[in-house]
Amino acid sequence: MRTAMAFWRRSQVPAATSTLVLHRPDQINWVRIAIQFVLGLILAGNLLVPFAARAQNLGTSPQLGQAVQGQQATTVEGTVLNIVNWGCNVIAPVIAVACLGIAGWHFKSGRGYMGWGVTGVSLMVISGLGRMAEGFITQAQGIQ
């Protein structure tokens, strides 16, 4: 029983043990606890915000409950349009900039950078193609 108690002590144990003994530090790292708390709030917010947010910005003004003219946001077409808009206009460019930044950092430090660079450029191309398709669809809606 003496060995099991050693896992929870803050100081060195006088008895020799045959297993790995984990010692907790004498002081509490408040900065680490604060960072973990803030990251936990961010994670909880990211999980809970979609349930509270109902507005979708699909133009110059937010449209509530409507994705495309004549379609509801709950239909398959409206959902696909929202996912494509979000992916091509937000997600892909943000990740592309991060990849290109990492590629520059790797280039500066003499490590392999080509994979990060190609990934960043590819994401920008995907974003551009999606925006181009969105523009074609928007222009075609006005044709009778």
Whether residues 21 and 67 fall in one domain: no
57: enclosing H helix or E strand: strand 55-57
| pTM score | 0.46
pLDDT at 81: 74
Domain that holds residue 116: 60-144
pLDDT at 60: 61
Q: How many structural domains comprise the chain?
A: 2
Distance CA 42, CA 48 (A): 10
Tell me how far the alpha carbon of residue 18 is from its chain's centroid.
43
Whether residues 65 and 43 fall in one domain: no
Whether residues 70 and 42 fall in one domain: no
- Residues constituting the chain: 144
pLDDT at 1: 45
DSSP alpha helix (H) spans, 58-91: 76-86
Indicate the residue among 36, 53, 70 that finishes a domain. Answer: 53
- Contact assessment for residue 22 and residue 7, using Cβ atoms and an 8 Å cutoff: yes
pLDDT at 73: 59
Whether residues 80 and 64 fall in one domain: yes
pLDDT in tens, the chain (144 residues): 445 554 555 555 565 656 777 777 788 889 999 999 999 999 998 888 777 665 555 556 555 555 555 555 566 666 777 777 888 888 999 999 999 999 999 999 999 999 999 999 999 999 998 888 777 776 765 554
